[in-house]
């Protein structure tokens, strides 16, 4: 109806407004806003449109390609480390596309939200994890993720790189195996237009390279 269209336009316009200077934002705005939802009191729960592991978190590919293909109303960065970093939190908020709220919450807070999300009527959540360990903690805690998109894992000392965008150490490999034991499937793509990667084969190659390193 016309009233429903008007209400949607107003909500989208409000979410596109950026508070300047940032110091005027209420304390703990991320946690408070994501907890309140955009449709407070409405029936229903979160719809998880995408859960992604990406060491770069919210960047151009996520803000454009993935938001267009999944149409989230909320982007939630789930990270203890980033939740303590005010600069990174502000950069994430500013990187969000117009009309989409971006929040940063610790892993435990996401677990709590997932267990008590019945007031999130109409909310479509895109979750971003910096590493597979945080994703595993969320799944172990009860965040209902059937599939995790694996987009980018940066290289660092001690890691092997079986393809152009993913790097693993033994802890990463073991973590993905635990996620698989929980029944999680893996969607290995940088952007929606990419062909799907075979996670089992990628992990197998990574393990072989790590084993070679140990022997040399």
Query: Active-site residue numbers?
Result: 59
Pairing of strands 101-105, 185-188: unpaired
Rounded CA gap, 27 and 25, in Å? 6
Yes or no: say if 102 and 77 are a contact pair by the CB < 8 Å rule: yes
Yes or no: say if 141 and 108 are a contact pair by the CB < 8 Å rule: yes
Rounded CA gap, 140 and 77, in Å? 17
Q: Which residues contact 2 (CB under 8 A, 6 or more apart)?
A: none
């Amino acid at each position: 109806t016309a009233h429903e269209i008007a209400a949607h336009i107003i909500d989208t316009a409000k979410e596109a407004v950026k508070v300047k200077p940032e110091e005027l934002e209420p304390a703990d705005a991320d946690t408070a806003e994501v907890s309140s939802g955009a449709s407070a009191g409405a029936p229903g729960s979160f719809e998880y449109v995408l859960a992604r592991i990406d060491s770069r978190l919210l960047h151009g590919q996520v803000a454009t390609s993935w938001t267009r293909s999944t149409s989230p109303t909320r982007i939630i960065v789930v990270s203890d480390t980033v939740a303590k970093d005010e600069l990174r939190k502000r950069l994430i908020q500013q990187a969000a596309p117009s009309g989409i709220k971006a929040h940063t919450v610790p892993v435990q807070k996401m677990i709590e939200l997932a267990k008590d999300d019945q007031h999130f009527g109409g909310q479509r959540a895109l979750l971003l994890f910096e590493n597979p360990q945080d994703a595993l903690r969320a799944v172990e805690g009860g965040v209902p993720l059937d599939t995790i998109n694996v987009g980018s894992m940066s290289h660092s000392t001690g890691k092997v790189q079986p393809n152009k965008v993913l790097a693993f150490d033994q802890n990463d490999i073991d973590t993905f195996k635990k996620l698989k034991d929980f029944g999680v499937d893996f969607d290995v793509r940088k952007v929606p237009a990419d062909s799907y990667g075979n996670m089992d084969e990628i992990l197998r190659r990574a393990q072989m390279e790590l084993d070679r390193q140990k022997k040399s």
